[in-house]
Structure 1
Amino acid sequence: MTGSLLAMSDGRPYPQRVGRLPRQLGAISAAWLTQLLQPCYPGIEVQALVVVEVRNGHTTKLRARLELNEVGQRAGIPSHVCLKSNWSEGFESGDICELESRFYHLTRAWSGAPLPATYFTDWDADGGGRGVVVMEDLGLAAGKFGHSTDHLGVDGVAQGLESLAALHAVTWVHPRLHRQVWLPVSMANPVDNDGLLRMYNYIKVNLGKDDYRQRLPRWIYETPELFSHAFDELAAFERAQVSPSCLIHGDSHQGNSFQRDNGQRIWLDWQLARRGRPWRDVAYFMLGALTIEERRAEGQRLLQVYREKLISLGAAGVLDQHAAWEQLRRWPVWGMQTWMSNMDDWGQSGLPMVERFFTAAEDFDTLRLLTRGRKPRRTPVLGEGARPLTPAYAHLLKD
């Protein structure tokens, strides 16, 4: 998708900045941050920048302690912040850093939304996909980062769904959202549509693991093209929807959230922000956070909890319970794809999620629902043209 944001761009927020955002961690310094912040905070000076922690994955999270002059202090920038960009070596993140920066720039005036505090955003808008966000350091905040395997229980999942409803309600059928031409439409962009094909080498690594073989259905080994067919039909189904849309997270598993001590769950890592229907977020969070037994017993009721909260916040035209459930039945395929391409040392545990989503697909009859009576829209060779494994994983792929 790199380049597409430039083609649809509204430009940079601070065009007076000279040069591109850096790609290397070594370029990050107090002097660089001073220069970056000055168009937004005239007269600011970062007198010292001490790196507290660096975490690299698809993006870089750099926790830093700052010494600021009086201008910075009066602006409300705290002494501890987190800088997000891509300063990692090896994994190219495409457009996601620019997309996330644009998202936080858009939401800076959303009071009360379940989001972290942000103090600055910028991006290059030159087709390179670079962006940077200066945000609160949640590592020092009162609360807990989520993890994919956290057991929330039914009540905890209900609270998480209400948080998603609060998020979705902010932009429900909002005309400003449709003017954000840089914001991808759910399942109508290459990152979404070709996710399974692009990440198939990572999927193949997991397919070869014994613990995955013990839990996965036989069809994924015997007729893997069914996976691609179902995924394409999910994308087509979503593109055909005409029900109200809103801004969705796009990757709403627990690991992309933080629960504050006051009980509020806020949502992080907005690299897959989309304009779309809310059921993608609802299904991805709910099916991943509930145990199989909890989902079978309480899934319908929890969907009702979400709907009622959304309606109570003023959303009009929300699908009725039956129609919403029919949406939910199709979305396990998204979670099947994302978790099958997960490498555990990226920070989240994939196998429990794989088991939950594949079991949900079986319970919901998802593959038949998507593919019955439909010819494949394309017949790709799985693995052909896929993103190469990074050097850390290349040895795991056996021909």
Structure 2
Amino acid sequence: MYRGYSGDDKPYPQRHSPLPRQLSDITPATLTRLLGYRYPGIAVESMEVTGIIESHTTKLWLRLTFNGVGRDAGIPAHVCVKANFTGEHLNVDICELEARFYHYLSPSLGDQVATCYYADWDNDGQGLIIFEDLEQRGGRFSQTTDHHGIEGTVQALEDLAKLHATLWNSPALTQHPWLPLSMQTPIDNDQIRIMQYCIDLNLANPNYRKVIPATFLENPDRLQSAYDGLIAWEQAQDSPYCLLLGDCHPGNAYIKPDGHRIWIDWQLARKGRPWRDLTYLMISMLTIDERRQSERDLLRHYRECLLACGVTAVADEQQIFEHYRRWVIYGLQVWLGNLDSWQVGVHLNERFFTAAVDLGTWQALL
């Protein structure tokens, strides 16, 4: 089991039936019932499916019409429903966690996250959220295959610093026992073991073997040892916590028309220190040459952005670099456990394996 919190804190105690478990359960009547817990008297009068992505967590885009209660509540016609409709992997409570995030914490983040109109969970791994259809904003979803360049990475780090600063050292982070502490929860600490079957597939893939150093291919078990070293390093720290996206790669952002980001996919939300998000995002976004050219300047810029937001007790530049060079191993194991059928990841493996050599990551952690 990889559930982190089992408290009984349902946001709408008047709901006694389980949340929908199948796509066919999503009907105007079901949506009327669910939204009615938050907006009494609301009625969904019609529903049209405009898009769907089916995976472990399904995203269902809908066009709805409402009665006057719904219109007065400001719920847009175009929404997205996100939940686990497969019934698989409910022992990994990422849908439940994301629903809690949107219910409890997203209001404090303003326009840094999508507007959520309903978030609920069943305390068994299932969670369901209804939020705005971001495509209606006229921007675009960022992709892991995009070329962002140094300038694009600067903008992303400015947005990331704002996100981290919003709840920097905030009491809100300790008021929610459901919010896991980074690298002190089974899903984090056992990621390699959970994803080992995918890692093995990639290590046998000729396309991956071309970009992975021979020294690693000869001894892949060193990944777990290095990752354990990162866990020990992080658990020994005593600097302030902030809110982490947790899975902070380029594809988990929506870029608004003004160039700023809305952070999406909060299934690995954490309280923790910012180096996890910072390193994972930065190395994913930059080509190898861009990283080598700019990483020190970018780390400095991120730190300056944090300070400009008014936070205190920020690590100095050398301390940040020491965190950064170690946290490379986190992104490395994530992308080595990613299948190309989910997201194209060969180029990201090359970036992280190269960074681990350039920055002495293996030596620092083993």
The 2-side partners of 1:365 and 1:111 are apart by 36
Aligned to 2:323: 327
Aligned to 1:354: 349
The one-character-per-residue Cα deviations of 1:76-130 (angstroms, maximum 9, x if unpaired) are 00011001111136565720011001111123422544111111111112xx111
- Report matched runs for 1:75-114 at 5 Å: 75-88=73-86, 92=90, 94-110=92-108, 112-114=110-112
Could you tell me which amino acid in structure 1 is paired with residue 202 of structure 2? N
Q: Give me the TM-score of the superposition, normalised by structure 1.
A: 0.89
- Contact kept, 8 Å, 2:247 with 2:277, in 1: the verdict is yes
Aligned to 2:122: 124
Q: Give me the TM-score of the superposition, normalised by structure 2.
A: 0.97
Aligned to 2:15: 17
- Report matched runs for 1:160-239 at 5 Å: 160-239=156-235
Cα pair distance change 1:139/1:345, threshold 3 Å = farther
Aligned to 1:146: 142
Aligned to 1:32: 30
Could you tell me which amino acid in structure 1 is paired with residue 31 of structure 2? L
Aligned alpha-carbon RMSD (Å): 1.4
**Structure 1 SS opposite 2:5:** helix
Aligned to 1:369: 364
* Unaligned ranges ≥5, structure 2: none
The 2-side partners of 1:2 and 1:270 are apart by 17
The 2-side partners of 1:100 and 1:44 are apart by 24
**Structure 1 SS opposite 2:51:** strand
**Structure 2 SS opposite 1:254:** coil
Could you tell me which amino acid in structure 1 is paired with residue 362 of structure 2? L
The 2-side partners of 1:229 and 1:23 are apart by 39
The 2-side partners of 1:112 and 1:77 are apart by 16
The 2-side partners of 1:53 and 1:113 are apart by 24
* Unaligned ranges ≥5, structure 1: 372-399
CA positional deviation for 1:49: 1.6
The 1-side partners of 2:49 and 2:182 are apart by 36
The 2-side partners of 1:116 and 1:183 are apart by 19
Could you tell me which amino acid in structure 2 is paired with residue 366 of structure 1? T
Cα pair distance change 1:336/1:3, threshold 3 Å = closer
The 1-side partners of 2:291 and 2:185 are apart by 30
The 2-side partners of 1:221 and 1:211 are apart by 13
- Contact kept, 8 Å, 1:202 with 1:343, in 2: the verdict is yes
Tell me if 1:260 matches 2:256: yes
- Contact kept, 8 Å, 2:325 with 2:361, in 1: the verdict is yes
**Structure 1 SS opposite 2:357:** helix
The 2-side partners of 1:277 and 1:91 are apart by 28
Could you tell me which amino acid in structure 2 is paired with residue 53 of structure 1? G
- Contact kept, 8 Å, 1:59 with 1:93, in 2: the verdict is no
Could you tell me which amino acid in structure 2 is paired with residue 174 of structure 1? S
User: Would you say how many aligned residue pairs link Structure 1 and Structure 2?
Assistant: 366
The 2-side partners of 1:60 and 1:236 are apart by 35
